[in-house]
Structure 1
């Protein structure tokens, strides 16, 4: 009888715990951690079954939200299973083509419901994924790697999509590989060999048009800044911190670059608590880009 009662108490306790876990809402947490990570061609460097090494790394980070880029070879079902493995019940993939190595979709996964999803592929090289989580509006994108003029058009499209949205002055977060330069980093780039590197690459690959009048262009992100958005990393870190290359050799980034960003709207500026480029033994070796992490106060 005593054993039966103990079993019943344990079962009830388990049900209460699982129910309270299931009902956990974004409003219940004081801080939110998000990560943006370009994982290099569908996590190609992780050859484990089901990308277990990425799963283990994501578990250790325990982020609330992860914005992924270059999720090649993932399907919706694969992404949902992958996300569930590190505690994210919700996952959205921009597009899927499991057999196309040049498809480069973005994705977002979360502990909390992802709603009001919009998948935009028209007039964008890789596309942009719009989604709401709580009262936050996310835009996850990966911009054109070949032509500055096209990147300018892509960024202007994203800016206008926010400007004419139902909540233009709300809590917006733009995250991803922007394949462009921040004017905040101009001093570092001017003193580096970056301009010559790009010129040499363009000689070898005439398709590339990543200079304007033979010079580095900052227009893509200047337009974003002029629209009121704030480079989150620079709120907390004034020094230049490269996001590529990692310790894995990658011939497109012989000079230290910052291509990976999280931008926030003015309403979120004072809520930003911490922003880091995550450099550890894992991120040194499993992609050509380092992830960016932001922690914010979760306010109403």
Structure 2
């Protein structure tokens, strides 16, 4: 009888401990690690089967949630398999190209250890689109803004700001992340001491489609509108010094001036919960994308 009860107890314990049956709740960890990463043209720098080098890097980071940009050539099934390889059971892709050989299709994505719910995929009036998703009581927006025209980026960010303002939870815990392809007024001093304006003038002369300067000057409207709406630039909040997110070492010929295009913004409800923010620069990120990832760690309340 005692042996029988012991077997039942051991079986019950195995069910509880099983990684396949145990439910991972976002309420459990005291901290959450979040990474935003523009992975460069569908991770084209990684020629391994299934993007194993990116998987190995993601495993080492052990982030709870990752927002990806430029997930070219990924399908929903490929993204889910990719995410599961580094311990994320849940994954959502913004959009899927009808032609998987299309190099000019730039979806964003989000993957997580915890259930991703209340997903909204917005592509109207946005260049690459925006992915809205809740994980626990956190509201995420992952986007990749227009790379060509400042005026269009201003329209895009105003749409995103209004989507929060008129949402069901405007005062909630919002996290906006991605490649915003724009300049922050908080970095104005660093930019105006360098050669960035001349770089952009030369690029616009070579490619007339580009309109990233306004009257021959840098424009800070996109980021200023976010700041005016109450959003907090967490990297600048935690770092007094300018930290570039592009270009990386292997792509350094893309610009003679270091740039910060990759951002994580949070709403005021999260300001006191920010524990640390950094740009992840290592042997891998030096070489596998033209952008560095940004990491944020928060208290999980």
Partner of 1:42: 42
Distance, in Å, in 2 between the alignment partners of 1:284 and 1:229 is: 29
Deviates more, 1:178-187 or 1:10-19: 10-19
Q: Tell me the distance in 2 between the aligned counterparts of 1:269 and 1:19.
A: 33
The Cα of 1:251 is off from its aligned counterpart by 4.5
Q: Please, which of 179, 201, 226 is the counterpart of residue 181 of structure 2?
A: 179
The CA RMSD over aligned residues, in Å, is: 1.9
Choose which of 105, 108, 131 in structure 2 pairs with 1:106: 108
1:139-175 deviations in Å (ceiling 9; x for gaps):
0000000000000000000000110000001000000
Measured after TM superposition, the shift of residue 24 of structure 1 is 2.4
Instruction: State the alpha-carbon separation in 1 of the partners of residues 186 and 180 from structure 2.
Output: 14
Unaligned 5+ runs, structure 2? none
The answer on whether the counterparts of 2:16 and 2:22 sit within 8 Å (CA) in structure 1 is no
1:81 is matched with which residue? 81
> Which deviates more from structure 2 when the two are superposed, residues 41-50 or residues 7-16?
7-16
- 2:245–2:261 CA contact under 8 A, matched in 1: yes
CA distance in 1 between partners of 2:112 and 2:290 (Å): 24
- SS of the equivalent of 1:224 reads helix
Distance 1:133 1:37 in 2: 18
1:246-277 Cα shifts (integer Å, max 9, x gaps): 01125443320000000000010010000000
1:22 maps to: 22
Divergent runs of 4+, >2 A? 4-16, 19-22, 249-254
Quote the residue 1:147 is aligned against.
149
Contact 2:94–2:108 (CA under 8 A) maintained in structure 1: yes
In the other structure, the counterpart of 1:165 is 167
> CA contact under 8 A between 2:24 and 2:113: conserved in structure 1?
no
Instruction: Give the gaps of 5 or more residues in structure 1.
Output: none
Match of 2:268 among 266, 269, 286: 266
Q: Which residue of 2 aligns with 1:245?
A: 247
Is the 2:26–2:114 contact (alpha carbons within 8 Å) kept by the matching residues of 1? yes
Residues 189-229 of structure 1: CA deviation (Å, up to 9, x unaligned): 00000000000000000000000111000000000000000
TM-score under structure 1 length normalisation: 0.95
**What are the superposed Cα offsets for residues 26-83 of structure 1, whole Å, 9 maximum, x if unpaired?**
0111000000000000000000110000000000000000000000000000000000
Instruction: For 2:42 and 2:252, locate their aligned partners in 1 and report how far apart those are by CA, in whole Å.
Output: 16
**Which of 119, 122, 129 in structure 2 is aligned with 1:127?**
129
**Is contact 1:128–1:142 with CA below 8 Å preserved after alignment?**
yes
- Contact kept, 8 Å, 1:245 with 1:254, in 2: the verdict is no
TM-superposed deviation, 1:12: 5.1
Aligned residue in 1 for 2:66: 66
* Distance in 1, Cα, partners of 2:78 & 2:255: 30
Report the 3-state secondary structure (helix = DSSP H, G, I; strand = E; otherwise coil) of the residue aligned with 1:35. Answer: strand
What's the offset of the Cα at 1:183?
0.5
Q: TM-score, normalised by structure 2?
A: 0.95
Give the number of equivalent residue pairs. Answer: 297
Identify if the C-alpha distance between structure 1 residues 152 and 89 changes in structure 2 by more than 3 Å, giving closer, same or farther: same
